[in-house]
Amino acid sequence: MVGITYEDFLDRSYEPTADDLVCRFYVEPAADMDAEAAASRVASESSNGTWAALQVEGSVTDLSATAFDVEPTSVGGDTPGTDRREGYDVGVAYPMALFEPGSMPQVLSCIAGNILGMKAVDRIRLRDCEWPEPLATSFPGPAYGSAVRDRVFDAGDRPITATVPKPKVGLSTDQHVEVGYQAWTGGIDLLKDDENLTDQAFNPFHDRLTESLDARDRAEEETGERKSYLVNVTAPGGEMLDRVDAVAEAGGEYVMVDVVTCGWAAVQQVRERCDRHGLAIHAHRAMHAGFDRLPDHGVSMRVIAQIARLCGVDQIHTGTADLGKLANEDTAGINEWLRSDLYGLADVLPTASGGLHPGLVPELVDRLGTQLCIQAGGGIHGHPDGTHAGAKALRAAVDAAAAGEDIEAAAEREPALATAIEKWGTE
């Protein structure tokens, strides 16, 4: 008989192998627990241990994780709404054999599962992962990644641009399509559905899809530029796959999926189905803040972005480097990870969105560079002269930033940009 106890999951002299998945956690032990005891419980519960010391008959494959690093650290206090908290940085190494290759739900049930609710810790956050090659390459990664820019558009080195009609929901199909047409002809590359617009009676999916793509064709003819549509296919199960097929049939290039609300198994299915048709995937991330907003608990956006890349999205929202309306976690660092080498898997094109307007573009490009999709909803449709002018203003701001030109100089040439700056300023 072999006894497996919590202590068996801690080894400070352990050196992770090249095939281990290494996870970095922020941990605050419960009041009655020291840091090492809490760390070993994290490794135990997320691999093959439980609260009781086990007596196991015969030999079992050793799939135990090892907590190998426990160092004091602190988080928070640097952004509004967060307190400075003291805890521990805990490194845990997981043997590759613990995982089912290519199954994101299974991986997450280990490393971001029960441990998030353990009484042994007051707070715990999965902050970062180092993915070993056999696990990373068991996933497809993006079909195109940032190469989608050149595949779909002829945008040179400038950021590509997107807009989401506002109000979010309520526009009829005709109204929605007209807003898209005005934005495309004003200079925007991508029309995007809002996350809570899918297939409602006031704007049914299939009508919106075909009519928007007709309008796209007209906008392409009028402008001589390539245009595309991020249509929201998010739906339960097989219906989502049917919508992917419909996009391909109608001549689309992209689908948009709300990746957290629909779940990673669904994203993996969509990736497979898109492959049949050569479609790219734009990932919206509504609900991510439920996991990543508080720096002392949950799962970081950095890890969510890693998961999305492995599952194979081509574009994902990663925030605005704090320039917009939403709280952001280290956008620049996440974008850098999305571009980093990962055993030959394609990169991901980040999308900056949420409260952006033309005047913020120079600072945004300064902080995040030009390998970007810049999305503005209110910052286009709220323009005093309407959507078309708002689109012209954003495009002029993006062209200027990409060319290293001053925004004020660009505003002298483009009155719509001057009006936008007058309304919203440049910060």
Is 192 a catalytic site residue?
no
In angstroms, the CA 94 to CA 222 distance is 56
Position 193 contacts Mg ion (CB under 5 A)? no
Position 376 contacts ligand CAP (CB under 6 A)? yes
Contact stretch for ligand CAP (CB under 6 A) within 16-24, 145-153, 294-302, 354-362 = 354-362
- The smaller minimum CB distance to ligand CAP, of residues 87 and 165, is found at 165
Residue of 284, 288, 297, 388 with catalytic role: 284
Shortest Å, Cβ 319 to ligand CAP:
5
Is 166 a catalytic site residue?
yes
- The smaller minimum CB distance to ligand CAP, of residues 96 and 332, is found at 332
Given ligand CAP, Mg ion, none, residue 359, with its beta carbon under 5 to 8 Å by kind, binds none
Q: Which of 189, 193, 194, 292 binds Mg ion (CB under 5 A)?
A: 194
Interaction with Mg ion in 321-380: which residues (CB under 5 A)?
Answer: none
C-alpha count within 13 angstroms, C-beta hemisphere, residue 307 = 29
- Residue 92 sits at the vertex; the CA angle it makes with 31 and 56, to the nearest 5 degrees, is 85
In angstroms, the CA 258 to CA 300 distance is 17
Whether 397 and 375 have beta carbons less than 8 Å apart is answered as no
Contact stretch for ligand CAP (CB under 6 A) within 75-83, 243-251, 348-356, 389-397 = 348-356
Task: Write the CB contacts of 373 (distance below 8 Å, at least 6 apart in sequence).
Answer: 159, 160, 161, 162, 190, 315, 349, 350, 351, 352
- Binding to ligand CAP by CB under 6 A, coded x per residue (else -) over 177-196, reads -----------------xx-
Task: Write the CB contacts of 126 (distance below 8 Å, at least 6 apart in sequence).
Answer: 23, 24, 25, 111, 112, 116, 298, 299, 300, 303
Position 355 contacts ligand CAP (CB under 6 A)? yes
Q: Which residue is nearest to Mg ion (CB)?
A: 194
Q: Which of 216, 227, 282, 285 binds ligand CAP (CB under 6 A)?
A: 285
Token digits for 64?
């135990």
- Binding to ligand CAP by CB under 6 A, coded x per residue (else -) over 292-331, reads -------------------------x-x-----xx-----
> DSSP string spanning 188-220?
-SEEE--TT-SSBTTB-HHHHHHHHHHHHHHHH
In angstroms, the CA 397 to CA 410 distance is 7
Position 145 contacts ligand CAP (CB under 6 A)? no
DSSP 259: H
Sign of CA dihedral 362, 367, 371, 376: negative
Q: Which of 87, 252, 377, 390 binds ligand CAP (CB under 6 A)?
A: 377
Shortest Å, Cβ 192 to ligand CAP:
7
> DSSP string spanning 411-424?
HHH-HHHHHHHHHH
- The smaller minimum CB distance to ligand CAP, of residues 140 and 263, is found at 263
Position 49 contacts ligand CAP (CB under 6 A)? no
Contact residues: Mg ion, CB under 5 A: 194-195
Contact residues: ligand CAP, CB under 6 A: 164, 166, 168, 194-195, 285, 317, 319, 325-326, 353-356, 376-379
Active site residue ranges = 166, 284
